[in-house]
Amino acid sequence: MFLLKPDWIAHFGDKDQKVSIFSIDVHPSGALLATSGADGLVKIWNIKSLLTAKNEDDKTEKLCGTLKGHQGRVLCVRWSKENKPLLASGSDDHKVIVWECQNENAADSSRTWSIKKELTGHTSDVVDVSWSYDNKYLATSSLDKTVLIWDARTLEKIHCLSDHQGPVKGIAWDPAGKYIATQSDDNSVKIWRTTDWTIQKDITKPFANSTCTTLFRRLSWSPEGSHIAAANAMNGTTPVAAVISRDNWDSDISLVGHSASVEVVKFNPILFNCPTNPDSSSPEKTTLASICAIGSQDHSISVWVTRNPRPLAVAQSVFQHSVLDLCWSPDGLAVLGCSYDGSVVVLQFSQQELGTPIANEEKENYLAKYGYRKPKVIILDDPDCPGSEKNGVSKSAQTPVERALAYTLGSTDIITSTPQTVAEFNTSSTFNTPSISRLLDTPSTNSSLKSIDTPSHNSSQKVTLTKDGRRRIQPLFLGGVQGTEPQASSAPLSVKSLGTSNSISAQSPNAKVTSEVTSSQSSANQAHDVDAEEINIDPPSKATLKDGLPSMSIGIKRKEPPNGNEIKSKKTNGQTVESRPIKLSPYFGVSQIRLGVPRVKAHIVRHKLGKANFSLECHNDLSNKDPAKLTCTTQSTVNWTDYLPSPVISLTGNANFCAVTCEDGCLYVYTYNGKRLLPCMMLDAPVSFIDSCGDFLMCITAVGLLSVWNVTQQTVLISSVSLSPILLT
């Protein structure tokens, strides 16, 4: 470990004497350092000069900017986690200021900063600010006993957390995005759900004997999401940092060693494979561990590997007063601390001391069990496409719509990236990337929905040269994912006449159903009500994709037939219904929850829906050559018809609306007049369970994510909340 105490980082008062530095934070790029002090200023420093300040002849420009805007002491500064980060500062003038750089690409010493917006709403000192890991929210805490939640993009206030009975002095966001933790002088840590901003758990046991002498209570959440380290806890009469487990919110572990109250705790953003025995010179086995730094009123900083009973390093009496804030460098090899005495200390570690850092993708896999979701990178390569490697243009990650389209069309050629950048994929020759022509099969003479099918041969874009030498590329038809509003018509609209549009065919109230619909309707009426109808669901089972990626497949493991779809026939109430398993979704490869999903049936019907006893009927083409035909009828009269690009797997409805879910994860909501109440919603996975009641619609996807909508008000009540804490208990 190397200790550095640069005297050139300082804030000065009216008489040019050093004043307290209350907060410190490193830019996500690792190039800049922000500090805030009792002089009412925010200063931006060149962190490169900080790391080379031990050189005697260092001439690097150190101070890159001084931000003036607050009318009081600036108690906290925090960078957002974007590519072009914003800087938030909180002050005892009751304001939060968000700063932005006007010339991000300029040299560090030439950058200019301006106020993006001043956030007002607190009625007392703002002592802590924190950006969520997904840059969706900004949280600010104050001595007025409240925490305000702001939209990080619009910087508008969206909620106020006001259940604390004392000043709120610390905030920590859950890396998985499900919770936010706050710590207050009321001797409690409260865990709030980000879905409805209500309290999940109120933790008071470790803080029952805590004193209110600390200026801050800055807590931190571990990078893999499993623990919270909280400041100013007590183990009897001994000051400690309490470690709270996410599994049951217990605080049985304490980090003991400081002789005075703990002001701040900060986890290293990097997870390391640490040596089992750090004191041994011989190579030992390594175990995954998080690293935590603690700053105390005893003027010292300690660094802990959380699985060890004693600290990795202790810097004693490095300050003349209390440690007020800590931050880690982006590479996790340096921790910086600031003090009430106005000085800054840097503790630099070698990789041999901390261990081997794990890749960010591996850390995300640990977060996945707590509901964290990040789209996988899917790379498509067509040698005839202008954006392919052949033409020297780098590919980008596939959009969610493209990813869903590839899944819908039956492709399992999905490559899950290892810890490499997109540029590394473009230059690598070891990856067998699937061609887009393997996903699409477009006949040259017809572009109707009937042409959407699982491809049987390669097709490529047609490239021609004009007289002036320019290339003209004929685009491939990809198909749509949602239809349009109902169109008046006197006759049913055939599939062939749809072209590239998915339209609803509305008929007059007196129109009669064709013989096909009538026969199926009458036979179905002889069955029984929807509540008694059997739903054939395959249990989830382990399987492997064609390219060898471990994943989970819906359907019992069985030998795959030559056509890739195993169609089964089953008699139900005297009728023979064919069905097949759904096609594999890429999200099953990373999900901790894998639920069963209804099989794709050739015919699905639901009766006695709505006040007029509507019937909702769907005909699926199990070969995916034709779109799914959805029909709403009353007795023998067809009210409307819609065509959907993916087979329908489940239906539901009540007096107010009806809804259908498709194999590709799309959700459609209709009125009984055929109008779509909501746009087509693309869910993360096929729906395992769907139900409706009154104005509300609920879905549980196959990866265990729960969503609830108020269809009438067109609002989201619960958005993709993981059920893993319930299902894995």
Supply the CATH number for residue 640's domain.
Answer: 2.130.10.10
91 touches 71 (CB < 8 A): yes
pLDDT above 70 (res 382): no
Q: Per-residue confidence at 212, pLDDT binned at 50, 70, 90?
A: confident
Beta strands 272-275; 356-357: pairing state: antiparallel
Which residue blocks in 170-243 are alpha helix, DSSP H? Answer: none
Out of 369, 398, 416, pick the residue that ends a domain.
Answer: 369
Which 3 state secondary structure label does DSSP give 468?
Answer: coil
pLDDT above 70 (res 339): yes
Does 715 reside within a domain? yes
Which 3 state secondary structure label does DSSP give 115?
Answer: strand
pLDDT above 50 (res 21): yes
243 touches 253 (CB < 8 A): yes
Euclidean distance between CA atoms 219 and 184, whole angstroms: 10
What pLDDT, in 10s, does the model give residues 572-614?
655 667 788 877 666 566 677 788 888 888 888 888 887 778 8
Task: Between 445 and 347, name the one with better pLDDT.
Answer: 347
Which residue reads 């009728």 in tokens? 575
What pLDDT, in 10s, does the model give residues 35-69?
999 999 999 998 776 665 444 455 567 888 899 99
Which of 144-148, 395-399, 567-571 shows the lowest mean pLDDT across its residues? 395-399
Which 3 state secondary structure label does DSSP give 332?
Answer: coil
Q: What pLDDT score was predicted for residue 537?
A: 52
pLDDT above 80 (res 194): yes
Q: What pLDDT score was predicted for residue 324?
A: 94
Residue 205 CB neighbour total at 10 angstroms:
14
Does 204 reside within a domain? yes
Percent over 70 (pLDDT), the chain = 69
Does 511 reside within a domain? no
Which of 6-15, 461-470, 674-683, 685-694 shows the lowest mean pLDDT across its residues? 461-470
Q: What pLDDT score was predicted for residue 173?
A: 95
Percent over 90 (pLDDT), the chain = 35
CA distances from 609 to 379, 522, 658, 669 (A): 43, 16, 8, 14
The DSSP-derived string for 478-506 is ---SS---EEE-SSPPPSGGGTT---EEE
Q: What pLDDT score was predicted for residue 435?
A: 36
Q: What pLDDT score was predicted for residue 367?
A: 87
Q: What pLDDT score was predicted for residue 429?
A: 33
Least Cα distance to 546 among 438, 663, 385 occurs for 438
Does 245 reside within a domain? yes
Does 457 reside within a domain? no
Beta strands 504-506; 486-488: pairing state: parallel
Does 45 reside within a domain? yes
Q: What pLDDT score was predicted for residue 341?
A: 92
Beta bridge partner(s), residue 578: 569
- Number of separate domains in the chain: 2
Residue range of the domain that includes 709: 603-722
What pLDDT, in 10s, does the model give residues 647-687?
999 999 888 899 999 988 899 999 888 888 888 898 888 89
pLDDT above 50 (res 141): yes
Does 403 reside within a domain? no
Query: What's the 3-state SS for 353-419?
Result: HHCEECCHHHHHHHHHCCCCCCCCCCCCCCCCCCCCHHHCCCCCCCCHHHHHHHHHCCCCCCCCCCC
Residue 178 CB neighbour total at 10 angstroms:
22
Q: Per-residue confidence at 477, pLDDT binned at 50, 70, 90?
A: low
What pLDDT, in 10s, does the model give residues 417-438?
333 333 333 333 333 333 333 3
Task: Between 148 and 538, name the one with better pLDDT.
Answer: 148
Least Cα distance to 233 among 202, 260, 200, 215 occurs for 260
Out of 345, 369, 393, pick the residue that ends a domain.
Answer: 369
Least Cα distance to 332 among 305, 354, 352 occurs for 354
618 touches 600 (CB < 8 A): no
Residue 176 CB neighbour total at 10 angstroms:
24
Task: Between 14 and 326, name the one with better pLDDT.
Answer: 326
Out of 342, 369, 396, pick the residue that ends a domain.
Answer: 369
pLDDT above 70 (res 533): no
Does 680 reside within a domain? yes
8-state DSSP, 676: B
Query: What's the 3-state SS for 603-672?
Result: EEEEEEECCCCEEEEEECCCCCCCCEEEEEEECCEEEEEEEECCCEEEEEECCCCEEEEECCCEEEEECC
Q: Cα–chain-centroid distance for residue 39?
A: 38
Least Cα distance to 671 among 682, 684, 656 occurs for 656
Structure tokens at 109: 């010493």
